[in-house]
Amino acid sequence: MRPTLVCALMLIASLAVAPSASAQDARLEAAKKEGKVVWYTSLALPSAEKIAKLFEAAHPGIKVDVHRTGSERVMSRLMQELGAGIKNVDVVHTSDAGHFVVLKGKNLLQKYTPPGVDGFPAGFKDKDGYYYGLRATVNVIAYNTKALSPAEAPKTWKDLLDPRWKGKLVTAHPGYSGVIATHVLALVNQYGWDYWKQLAQNRPMLVQSAVDPSGVVASGERAVAVDGGEYTFYQTKKKGNPLEIVYPKEGVPLVISPSAITSFAPHPNAAKVFTDFTFSREIQQVMADSEGLYTGHPDVKYPTDKPKLSDLKLWSVEPEELEKRIDEIKKRFVEFFGA
């Protein structure tokens, strides 16, 4: 089937579930007049571009400006721009839920509930209705199957502290990635800062994005990734790379990545159309299918070659706690790891 046809069908489907068709029509017209939507996102680049292309195909006349970087950089840019009086962004999406606590507190978010999120689990919903979890992933361990046999591979988070992994590990950075910031806090809550202090003794290679450990392990530059978004490992593995994922039994940190419309959105209608689109069952399904993400949507079916969220023991982090401790997380991580 041609992609445009698929998208047209999806558009029709999404309109069908919408509360009021005529209101939607008026909004769509207004959105087309606005012509584009500016999306600051921390979703891995190829995935973000894919969703943007699907949206553009389904909504001719509305362009998506994708600005992808790590969660912490998204926030950094956003605040820098606001400081300089620049109001550029319509939809903001990061993996650091604490950002949304900050933004809401500063009245920088618009209250908006996309249709269909009622059925989402509680962790995906802001109680005041300002932001909703667009997608979720968990942090896992991954290893290169050419370097290690399944028997040799680490099984638990604490296995990684063994000195035999010295020089063989890679970690992403909480100063860049919200997925990792969440992960660091989850493990601090379980094991204390001592865990990270000891892990630093094994001198892991430091990369920035939670996407990057998958590439480092796949290339064989390091044998084991001590963290990273499960969906990027899953995609890398599906591409035929020698990589296997370990889901530690004691628990895996759950990262729910919220999405919200800014209060100053220069393209408010396009922002709403785009938000509705990304929360539609179809796009949530695309994220589950080809990107390997988890979502809050109750009707989404997941690939059979990976565990369901309900099969995993999940460690959650409260957005408020993440917001309070993010500076501490960045500071101590740099203190232990050097950069």
Partner 1 sequence: MTARVARQWVAGVDRALPVWAAVVLALVLLMALPLGWLVWMSVGGAAGATLGHYAQVARDPALLAALWNTVVLSFWVGLASLAVGAPLAWLTARTDLPGKSVIRSLVLASFVTPPFLGAFAWVMLAGPNAGLLNVLWRSTTGATDPLLDIFTMSGLVFVVTMYTFPYVYIMITNTLLLIASDLEEAAAILGAGRLAVARTVTLPMVAPALASGFILAVLQALALFGSPAILALPAGFHTITTQIWALFQYPPKVEMAAAISMPLLLATALLLLVQKRLLGRRGYAAIGGKGGQRGQIPLGPWRWPALLGCLAVMACAIFLPYGILAKAALSRAWAQPLSWSNLTLGNFAFTFFEYSATRAAIVNTLELGLATATIGAALVAMLSYVTNRRLVLGHQLVAFLALAPIVIPGVVLAVALFIAYTRPPFLLYGTLAILFVAYLTKEMPVGYAQSEATFRAIPPELEDAGRILGAGRLRILWDVTAPLARSGIIAAWCFIFIGVIRELSASIILFSPATRVMSVVIFDLKEEGQFGAIAVLGIVMLALTFATVLLVQKALGRDVLGVREGEPPPRPRRADADANQNGVGS
Which residues of the shown chain bind partner 1 in the complex (CB under 8 A)? 40, 44-46, 49-50, 52-53, 64-70, 72-73, 75-77, 79-81, 83-86, 88, 167, 175-176, 203, 205-209, 211-212, 214-216, 218-223, 239, 241, 327, 330, 334-335, 337-339
Cα gap 48→203, rounded to integer Å: 32
Smallest gap, in angstroms, from Cβ of residue 109 to partner 1? 17
Nearest to partner 1 of 69, 278 (CB atom) = 69
Smallest gap, in angstroms, from Cβ of residue 90 to partner 1? 12
Smallest gap, in angstroms, from Cβ of residue 51 to partner 1? 12
Q: Using CB atoms within 10 A of its CB, is residue 99 exposed (0-12), middle (13-18) or buried (19+)?
A: buried
Give the chain's length: 339
Q: Tell me 213's DSSP state.
A: H
Would you say 103 and 109 are in contact if contact means Cβ atoms under 8 Å apart? yes
Nearest to partner 1 of 216, 273 (CB atom) = 216
Nearest to partner 1 of 222, 297 (CB atom) = 222
Nearest to partner 1 of 214, 257 (CB atom) = 214
Nearest to partner 1 of 16, 84 (CB atom) = 84
Smallest gap, in angstroms, from Cβ of residue 30 to partner 1? 23
E strands in the chain: 36-41, 63-68, 91-93, 109-110, 132-138, 141-144, 169-171, 205-206, 224-225, 243-246, 252-262, 314-315
Question: Going by C-beta distance under 8 Å and a sequence separation of 6 or more, which residues neighbour residue 229?
Answer: 44, 95, 137, 139, 179, 210, 211, 255
Smallest gap, in angstroms, from Cβ of residue 156 to partner 1? 24
Smallest gap, in angstroms, from Cβ of residue 317 to partner 1? 19
For residue 229, give the nearest of 207, 211, 256 by alpha carbon.
211
Nearest to partner 1 of 72, 227 (CB atom) = 72
For residue 325, give the nearest of 230, 187, 215, 118 by alpha carbon.
187
